[in-house]
Amino acid sequence: EAEVAQSPRYKITEKSQAVAFWCDPISGHATLYWYRQILGQGPELLVQFQDESVVDDSQLPKDRFSAERLKGVDSTLKIQPAELGDSAMYLCASNRDRGSADTQYFGPGTRLTVL
């Protein structure tokens, strides 16, 4: 069964450093999402791509966060500089289209700890 791949699974960094996370969605899935999940809470959407285009980044802290999906396949989420409050699980998800009834498939996540 196809899965969403993410790496690294764990990342520990010091504040003010740069970090990057990678996601490879299920083959053929045009839509890709990045979520942030703070411990004890549900995931919150950071950014959504349709192919290579950003369609929603309204919740992305653009002063320090950036995301790209250059060829419309895999994607990178970057934080620079990292802050203590960025410690969280970063989840990637994908689905075939943007319809609300279409299931989103999640990767295993990257757990970020900022010291």
Partner 1 sequence: GNSVTQMEGPVTLSEEAFLTINCTYTATGYPSLFWYVQYPGEGLQLLLKATKADDKGSNKGFEATYRKETTSFHLEKGSVQVSDSAVYFCASAPSGTYKYIFGTGTRLKVLA
Chain residues that interact with partner 1, rule: CB under 8 A: 4, 6, 31, 40-45, 48, 56, 91, 93, 98-101, 103-109
**For residues 76 and 106, which CB has a smaller minimum distance to partner 1 in the complex?**
106
Task: Provide, rounded to whole angstroms, the least separation between the CB of residue 61 and partner 1.
Answer: 18
Task: Provide, rounded to whole angstroms, the least separation between the CB of residue 42 and partner 1.
Answer: 3
Where are any strands of DSSP class E within 38-104?
Answer: 44-50, 53-56, 65-68, 75-79, 88-95
**For residues 70 and 101, which CB has a smaller minimum distance to partner 1 in the complex?**
101
> Identity (one letter) of the amino acid at 101?
A
Q: How many CB atoms lie within 10 A of CB 22?
A: 15
The CA distance from 69 to 43, in Å, is: 21
